[in-house]
Amino acid sequence: MDDDIHYLGLLELTRRMHAGELSPVEVTEAQLRRIEVLDDGLKSFALVTPELARAQARTAEEEIRRGEIRGPLHGAPIGLKDLCWTKGIPTAGGMTIYADFRPEEDATVTRRLQAAGTICLGKLQNTEGAFADHHPEIASPVNPWNAAHWPGVSSSGSGVATAAGLCFGSLGSDTGGSIRFPSAANGVTGLKPTWGRVSRYGVFELAATLDHIGPMTRNAEDAAAMLTAIAGSDPNDPTAAQVPVPNYLAGIADGFNGLRIGIDPTFNARGLDAATTAALASAIEIVRSIGGDVREIRFPDSEAIVADWLPACGVETAVAHEATYPTRKSEYGPGLAGLIELGRGLSGMELQKIALRRNAFRGRVAAMFQEIDLLIVPAQAFASPTVEKMATLGEDADLLQGLLRFTCIFDMSGNPTITVPCGFTEQGTPVAFQFVSNHWDEAKLFRAGHAFQQATEWHRRHPAL
């Protein structure tokens, strides 16, 4: 078996498995050994599940040998963000309160990935309750490109493990940018779907109308396969939309043919540092060079929506934690507790004004997509901030605004986005940008992401570990 098998794309791996060239059992054992060697330093896993992984690998190997291939994910070792329930296996959500919680059933996304034949290597670490900070008693994952740099939140474990070759794909969640931040920070591809595209049943809640569950992978093709497996309506989640789920791999090679790509130079330049500015400009030129019909548009004013995100998230988080806060307040870290206190202090009048502004913004974004098919925006205003700098997030309003400006607005509107690597900083850390589409148009995102990645090498680079 190749020494660098751990950096194969997920679908490249399973194609070789289905052809009999690779053994799911051997690959899984190699992954478990790699986790054992590297993850003490990277801290991406909250919990490794070797017995479950080995049992699932044996089943996959036997089924594949008999020609009973369940689909393109069959045999792929993956990781689950530790918000996703796993029957009988601890699921803590980054919280000490739930350290001993063992769900009696799987989350819908967990069950669907199992049905697709994936192999669960373990649960990936996330911030406390999936907000901004790790609980003070839980170690933060470490960026595999440079330990001094931020690994992203809250799906930081998913980003680190996928980038470091500890799994071939993972699930993350995104409420204000938590698929996109760690995807950008770690140089992986992250898909935040349309709100309602993926069931949230059995996934710890941060903010009900803002939470999105999606894949984090090494490329757009792999993300398309994972979303195909997990998306769709769910009788256990009435907010999971009754919208048919296409095979996202079909047509992924169609590129930018017929797609109108919008950019707002003024919006995109707001607060950007030099590294992000240069990488974004280069990415737009590449899109043009491979057939993208790039045209200038004006993005709707979003400053009020960025400001509204925190109180909107706070009140929904307060509702989600009503059973344990404030009765167990002493067991909460300061970041999550502060968010809940903010939400509990919001008046009905204030909440209604936020709801009205949010609905109006959603309508303006939908109208914009009558003129274009895709939008290009940065993933964040500044490339690869240091851990030290991000420690001041709660005290630096400009830093918080710069972090959220290009992400939380699409949680507020529910639009899907794909985050794609597009360069590196002078420190050798990744930079990324987003394609954004109209609701339910994830197929266009995969087409665009795949076309960009066929023309570039950024996503094929890996940290030296």
Q: What is the pLDDT of residues 116-126, one digit of tens each?
A: 999 999 999 99
pLDDT band with cut points at 50, 70 and 90 for residue 367: very high
- 44 catalytic? Reply is no
**174 touches 114 (CB < 8 A):** no
**105 touches 88 (CB < 8 A):** no
Q: How far apart are CA 445 and CA 330, in angstroms?
A: 43
pLDDT band with cut points at 50, 70 and 90 for residue 447: very high
pLDDT at 406 over 80: yes
Mean pLDDT of the chain: 96
**Domain-wise residue ranges, the chain:** 5-460
pLDDT at 202 over 80: yes
Q: What is the pLDDT of residues 237-259, one digit of tens each?
A: 999 999 999 999 999 999 999 99
Task: Give the pLDDT of residue 4.
Answer: 83
| Region 370-392 average pLDDT | 93
Task: Give the pLDDT of residue 398.
Answer: 76
pLDDT at 2 over 70: no
**144 touches 42 (CB < 8 A):** yes
Task: Give the pLDDT of residue 401.
Answer: 79
Instruction: List the catalytic residue out of 23, 44, 140, 154.
Output: 154
Q: What is the pLDDT of residues 208-229, one digit of tens each?
A: 999 999 999 999 999 999 999 9
**195 touches 414 (CB < 8 A):** yes
**435 touches 407 (CB < 8 A):** no
pLDDT band with cut points at 50, 70 and 90 for residue 1: low
Q: Nearest to residue 149, comparing CAs of 390, 387, 413, 394?
A: 387
Residues 242-253 as b or e (16 or more Cβ within 10 Å = b): eeebbebbebbe
pLDDT band with cut points at 50, 70 and 90 for residue 20: very high
54: left (phi over 0), alpha (psi -120 to 50) or beta: alpha
CATH architecture of 5-460: Alpha-Beta Complex (3.90)
- 81 catalytic? Reply is yes
The percentage of residues in the chain with a pLDDT greater than 90, rounded to a whole number, is 95
- 199 catalytic? Reply is no
Q: How far apart are CA 174 and CA 285, in angstroms?
A: 28
Task: Give the pLDDT of residue 217.
Answer: 98
Helices 274-289 & 442-455 angle (0-180, nearest 10): 90
Q: Give the H/E segment covering residue 180.
A: helix 180-186
Handedness of CA 455, 13, 250, 448 (dihedral sign): negative
pLDDT band with cut points at 50, 70 and 90 for residue 302: very high
The percentage of residues in the chain with a pLDDT greater than 70, rounded to a whole number, is 99
pLDDT band with cut points at 50, 70 and 90 for residue 3: low
Residues 6+ apart with CB under 8 A from 2: none
| Region 256-266 average pLDDT | 97
pTM, 2 dp: 0.97
Instruction: List the catalytic residue out of 23, 44, 81, 192.
Output: 81
Q: What is the pLDDT of residues 422-443, one digit of tens each?
A: 999 999 999 999 999 999 999 9
Task: Give the pLDDT of residue 393.
Answer: 72
Instruction: List the catalytic residue out of 23, 140, 158, 178.
Output: 178
Q: How far apart are CA 176 and CA 314, in angstroms?
A: 12
Task: Give the pLDDT of residue 395.
Answer: 66
| Region 167-196 average pLDDT | 98
DSSP 236: T
- Output the DSSP codes for 363-432: HHHHHHTTT-SEEEEES-SSSS-BHHHHTTTTT-HHHHHHHHTTTHHHHHH---EEEEEEEE-TTS-EEE
Q: What is the pLDDT of residues 24-36, one digit of tens each?
A: 999 999 999 999 9
Task: Give the pLDDT of residue 369.
Answer: 98
**379 touches 419 (CB < 8 A):** yes
| Region 46-64 average pLDDT | 98
